[in-house]
Amino acid sequence: MIDTLRLDQILDALPNMYRGPGGVAGVVKDGKIIASRAWGYSDLASHRKMTKGTRLPICSISKQFTCAVLLHTFDDFAPLNARLPELLPNFEGQLPTIEQLCHNQSGLRDYWALTILEGAKAEQTFARNDAYAMFERMKSCHFEPGTSYSYCNANFRIVGELIERETGRSLQGLLAETVWGPANMKTAALLSDSRVTADGVIGYEGNEQVGFMPADNGIYWFGDAGISASLEDMLAYECWIDQTRDDPDSLYNRISTPPTFKDGTPAGYGYGLAHMELAGRKVTGHAGALRGFRAFRMHCASERMSVVVILNHEGSAYGAAEALFNAALGYKAPKPMPMPEGWDGQWLCPEANLLTAIESGKTDAHLHYSTGGDIVFAAEDGTLKTASVTLSKTQDTMTMTRKGENLVSKLVPLPKSPVTPDAEFAGRYYSDELDATFTVVAEDGGLYAYCQGVLGTGIMERVHPVGLDTWVFVTRRSMDAPAPGDWTITATRGDDGTIEGITLGCWLARKLDYRRL
C-alpha cells in the first residue's frame, strides 16, 4: 500500500529540503505515474519556469542507455574487443573486455579525473579529440581487469566510440531506435557539447550561503553522459520498464542482471546500473552529475516502483529520491546507535595507496576514502557499516571491507606527525605514463602545486601534509562533477635519503608514479 499522503507531503517539501533554483521529481508505481512535480526556474535571469517538459542533462544516467544499445545491437562483443586497441594504442599488458568496461571492472583510470593531472581548468573546452589524446596516454590499469570495481567514465565513452565505429551509425540514432522510441521518450536528445543545453536550461553552482552562479561547462561527452531528457521522458522510461518486466529479454531486464567479478563474487555495478539496497529492498539505479546539475533515477522491481529526481543545482538528487521512496513505502530508518569512541584516526590503504580517515560524530562517522566518502554507522557486532562498507578492528589492526569493490584491506596506520619539511618535497616531478608534470612550490609555510600536460597548465591548488612523506592535493572544482576531491601523495626515497619520486592518486585514478626532475 502506497502512502500517497506522505508522498505528496515530501514532494511539496522538496524545494525547501533541497534549496536551489529548480528541479523536477516523479514516482511511478505499477506502470503508472502516481506523483510528479516541477518547481522553481530553469533560468533565474530570464525568469523561465521549470516544467515537467523541460529537458535537463541526465549526465551519467546515460550510461545504461549506452549499454542497452550495446546489448540490442551486438550478440557477440568480439568485434568490439578486437577494435579496443584502436583507442588504447599504447596500452601495455592485458586489455579489459567490453563487458568489464560496462561493469566498471576495467581497471582503467577515469579520464575526467586525469584531466586534472593533464593541466585542465574547470571551464576550458574539452573537445572530442581531447578524449583520444587521453586514451592514447593510457598504458596501464590500477588493478587487474575483472578483479575489482572503480567508477570510470572512460569505460562508457570507449564503448560509445566502438559502437559507432563498428556499426557506422551515430549513437544518437541508435538510442532513438533502441530505447527512446519504444519507451515513448518523445523529446530525449544526445547533446554531446555541454555548452549547449536543451531548452536553454541553466545549471547553477553555489548554495544559499554564497549564492547561485551559472555553471560554465565546456566538455564534449557521449556514451558516458550527454543525454538530455525531461521528467516526462524519464517517467515514460520508467513506465516502459514496468510494461516489459515479464519479458526476460527486455532491455532493462538484460542490463539489470546481477553482475559478478571474474572470480564469481557478486558485484554491485553492471551495464551502467548500480545495484543497491534502499528501505530493505533491492533497487537498481544511477546518479548523474555535471557542474550545476544533479540527477538520480532508481527502480525497485519487487515493488514495481521507480523514482526520478533532476535538479539544476548541486543539491542531493539521491537524498531527494530516497526520501520519496521511503515516504511512498511508509519506511522509517531505524534510529542509529551512538558512535563508540576509539575509531577516529588515519591510515593508508595499501591496495590503492590512498589516505583513509575516520571522523566520528554522535551517531555516525565520515569515512574519507572514495570521491564522496561514506557515512558509516555503529553496528551491534562492534563494526562500523554501510550497505557496502564494513570497518572492523582489533587491538592491532583496522580492516576495511568494500564488498562492492571486492576489496578487503588491512589498513596501515599513518601517524599525523612528524611531517616532511616543505623544502624536501618542493620540486618538479614527471609521469612517464601521462607525459605530464606535477610541480610543488613551497611558499613561506604553505605548499601549493600545479599540473601541466596535454590539456595545458592547471591552477595552483593547495597541498597539505598528513604524515611523514604523505600529503593531500585538493581538487574541489573540475570539468566533471563531483570533482575528484583529495589526491593522496606518497614519497619514495633513494639510498641517500632524498625524495626521488612520488606516487599520486585518487579513488578514480590510483597509483600514478612520478620521478623527480
Catalytic residues: 60, 63
Sign of torsion over alpha carbons 53, 54, 55, 61: negative
Torsion angle of the four alpha carbons 134, 140, 142, 144, in this order, in degrees rounded to the nearest 10: 130
The residues, any chain, with a CB within 8 Å of residue 372's CB and separated by 6 or more, are: 482, 485
Place of cell 548500480: 274
Q: Which of 467, 484, 422, 470 is nearest to 448 (CA)?
A: 422
| Rounded Cα gap, residues 232 and 234, in angstroms | 6
Distance CA 450, CA 459 (A): 6
- No. of helices (H) and no. of strands (E), the chain: 12, 30
Check whether the bond before 482 is cis (ω within 30° of 0): yes
Is residue 353 within 8 Å of residue 511, measured between CB atoms? yes
* Burial of 246 (C-beta count, 10 Å sphere; 0-12/13-18/19+): exposed
